[in-house]
Structure 1
Amino acid sequence: MAWVSLVLAGLCEAFGVITINKLNNSRNWQSLLLLNLGFGASFLFLAYAMKTLPMGTAYAIWTGIGSAGGALLGIMIYGESKDWRRIACIALILVAAIGLKLIG
C-alpha cells in the first residue's frame, strides 16, 4: 500500500506543478485552491508512504514521478518541446525511479 501511496503522491505533485502554470495564467481562487489541493494531497500521500519506505527512496521516487509527470503534462497540455533528447531525459528519470523500487 505504501508504493501505491507513493505513486499517488507523485501524481499529485505533477498535478500541483501544472496548477502553478494555471495560477500564473489566471490568478483566481479556483487556481489557488487546485494548487493547494494538489500539493497538500501530495505531501499527505508521501508522509503515509514514508511510514514504511526508506526516506531516501521515497523522496527520490516522489520527485522523479513529479518532475517527469510535470514535464510530460507540459508537453501534452501546453505544447512544450517534444525533442527526443528531452523525452530521453524524462525516460532516464523514470528508469532511475523503477531501479530504486527494484533495489529497495
Structure 2
Amino acid sequence: MAWLVLFVAGLFEVGWAVCLKSAQGFTRPWPTIGFGVFMFASVYLLGLSLRSLPLGTAYTVWTGIGAVGAVAFGIVVWGEPADVRRLVCIGLIITGITGLKLVTPH
C-alpha cells in the first residue's frame, strides 16, 4: 500500500509542477491555488509512505516520478522537444526508479 501512496504522491508532484509553470510567476490565481493544493497533497502522501518505506528510496522514487511526469507532460501538452537524448535520460530515470522498487523489501 505504501508504494501506491508514493506513486499517487508522485502524480501530485507532476500536478504542482504543471501548475507552477501555468501560474506564470504566481500572477494567475487558479494555477497558483492548484500549485498549493497539489504540493500539499504530494508532500502529505510522501509523508504517509515514509511510515514504512526508507527515506532515500521513497524520496528518490517520488522525485523521479515527478521528473518523468513533468517531462512527459511538457512533451505531450506543450510540445517540448522529445529528441533521443532526452528520451534516453528519461529511460535512465525510470530504470533507477524500477531498480529501487525491486531492491526495497516492502
State if a TM-score over 0.5 links the two structures: yes
Q: Which amino acid aligns with 1:2?
A: A
CA deviation profile, 1:10-42 (whole Å, cap 9, x unmatched) = 110011111111001882221111000111110
**Pair 1:74 & 2:53 matched:** no
Q: Residues of 1 paired with 2:76 and 2:20: CA distance?
A: 16
Work out the percentage of aligned pairs sharing the same amino acid: 37
Gaps of 5+ in 2: none
After TM superposition, which residue ranges in structure 1, 4 or more long, deviate above 4 angstroms?
none
Q: Which amino acid aligns with 1:83?
A: D
C-alpha contact (below 8 Å) 2:13/2:38 kept by paired residues: yes
- The answer for the alignment partner of 1:64 in structure 2 is 64
5 Å matches for 1:1-104? Answer: 1-24=1-24, 27-104=27-104
Normalising by the residue count of structure 2, what TM-score does the alignment of the two structures yield? 0.94
Partner SS for 1:24: coil
Gaps of 5+ in 1: none
CA RMSD, aligned part only? Answer: 1.2
CA deviation profile, 1:17-73 (whole Å, cap 9, x unmatched) = 111110018822211110001111100110000001000000000010001111111
Cα offset, 1:87, TM superposition: 0.8
- Size of the aligned set, in residue pairs, is 104
Q: Which amino acid aligns with 1:18?
A: V
Normalising by the residue count of structure 1, what TM-score does the alignment of the two structures yield? 0.95
Relative to total residues, which structure has the larger helix share, 1 or 2?
1
